[in-house]
Amino acid sequence: MKQAASLLSRLPHLTIRQKVVAGVIIPVLIFTVVGVVSFNYLIRLEGTLTLMEAADDLSNTILEVRRYEKNYLLYGHAEDFDESQRYINQARATLSAMALAARDTHARRTIARLTPVLDTYQAKSRSLRLTVSDSAAAQDREDLRQAGKDMVDLSLDLKNTERERTLLLVANLKRQLLISGVFIACSGIVLALLLARKILRALGTITKATSEIGQGNFKTLEVPRANDETRRVLEAFNRMTRELERRQDQLIQEKKLSSLGVLTSGIAHQLNNPLNNISTSCQILIEEHKECDPAFSDRMLGNIQQEVLRARDIVKGLLEFSRAKDFSLKPVSLEDVVAKAFRLVSSQIPAGITLTHSITAGLVLELDAARMQEVFINLLLNAAQAIDEIPGAITVSAETDVDSGTAVIVVEDTGTGIPEDALGKVFDPFYTTKEVGKGTGLGLSIVFGIIEKHNGSISAEKTDGKGARFVIRLPLSHAGNIA
């Protein structure tokens, strides 16, 4: 199989269509050649069977000649002599016909030897009838018997030769058909396997890549050097993969902008507090700047500086979240990512719902901070929307699992939970358990894609009591997991 594949690789590169056509034409040509050869064997076999039948008739005719010869010599009846002569003429006619049909050299030589023997026998039989002397008659009888014996021997030799030749042709035909059948079967199997191997390998690769795309891993396929349909299909598949990745990034960015729309009103309230504090401190300084105690003035300026930094951090977090960046993994503190997500969603969490996190101190992972922040924002907002009874709680916890080499992150809430039949579908695009108009079903599918890009996994579970739990597993960094 390997040798055949190596031989096939040295041939000019053909398209799959050309290979299929070749795979049809080659067996047809082989069948044609085998058919022509077999037809030639059958023609030869037909001629040999005809000659063997004639040789058998000749042998029987000569035996009849000998029988009437014996009757004539014993009883002297003229009718036995006449019958003997008639059979001799019949044998001569059969021999003439065989001489015309014979193709085998040995058969021709035997026929050539039998013809004069037959003539001699007929001449001796006629001479015996005319002989009067007893001594001459005895000699003619002896010569007649010897000629008859030679006729029988040669006719039997001719018959046996044609029988052996017939059997040989049948054996050769069987052998040729067997070898041709085995060759055709093997060549057909090899061609089919090689062609199927090429096509099925490409289809298997595409199937595997399609499954990975469904999981959010947009990986292009290696394109073979052969200039055939497989190459064009894989090139088209890679173009589709790149386009899907681009659309996925657009979708993530659009989801971010959608989240920004939700967060903006809360951010405005968050900015309003430091701005009010700055305004109040400035008014006090303006009114009291001439009589103001230097220590009090320094304290007011310190408050202004602190509130400015606070407002800057709020705006900076919002800008970092909204900015489109290329996917890039860097060592990042998981606690910082969760804290920034908490700050951005805090204004959208209703009063009575507490946000808490319990993360192993110094846990550093290889993350794209902006995209992982999007994961937590989506999960936190979904959890807040699922809590319909106050008070409620949303908890983010993380710890390391050294045995599996992963960090286990759990986002848990006390909301309405996820129906049992929806646990396996919540990450499907456009699937949502919310009422019509309250969700697009894209948030968790984007979360799933981001986690897959981090070579991690995410699953949805029901809690023992009320609520839902999302478990994220991310690989620990090679340099260590605790900073």
Give 421's Cβ-side CA count (13 Å radius): 0
Threshold 0.85, pTM exceeds: no
Q: Are 408 and 400 in contact (CB under 8 A)?
A: yes
Tokens 């069977």, residue?
Answer: 49
From its phi and psi, is residue 417 left (phi > 0), alpha (psi between -120 and 50) or beta?
left
Output the six-digit token pair for 219.
């990986």
Q: How far apart are CA 330 and CA 368, in angstroms?
A: 6
Domain with CATH 1.20.120.1730 in the chain: 2-204
Q: Could you give the 3-state DSSP secondary structure of residue 85?
A: helix
Rounded Cα–Cα distance for residues 425 and 429 (Å): 9
Residue pair 80/71 in contact by the 8 Å Cβ criterion: yes
Within 360-423, where are the H helices? 369-386
Range(s) of the chain covered by CATH 3.30.565.10: 325-483
Could you tell me which CATH class the domain 325-483 is placed in?
alpha beta
CA distance 342 to 322: 16
Q: Rounded to an integer, what distance in angstroms lies between the CA atom of residue 475 and that of residue 470?
A: 17
Whole-angstrom distance, CA of residue 53 vs CA of residue 59 = 10
Q: What is the pLDDT along the chain (483 residues), one digit of tens a residue?
A: 455 555 445 444 566 677 677 767 877 887 788 888 888 878 888 888 888 888 899 889 988 988 888 888 888 788 888 888 899 899 889 888 888 888 788 888 888 898 898 888 888 888 877 665 566 677 878 888 888 898 889 888 888 888 888 888 888 888 888 888 888 788 778 777 777 776 777 677 777 767 766 665 666 767 666 666 667 777 777 888 778 777 766 666 665 555 555 555 555 655 666 677 677 778 777 777 667 777 777 777 777 776 677 677 666 655 655 555 567 888 989 998 888 888 877 767 888 888 898 888 888 999 888 888 888 888 888 888 888 888 888 999 999 888 888 899 999 888 887 777 666 667 665 445 554 334 433 467 778 878 888 888 888 887 665 788 889 999 987 544 544
User: What SS3 state is found at 409?
Assistant: strand
Pairing of strands 457-462, 468-475: antiparallel
Q: Among 463, 337, 318, 335, which residue's Cα sits nearest to residue 392?
A: 463
Report the residue count for the chain. 483
What fold does the segment set 2-204 form as a domain?
Answer: Four Helix Bundle (Hemerythrin (Met), subunit A) (1.20.120)
Q: Output the six-digit token pair for 117.
A: 């023997």
Q: What CATH fold (topology level) applies to the domain 246-324?
A: Helix Hairpins (1.10.287)
Residue range(s) in the chain whose domain bears CATH number 1.10.287? 246-324
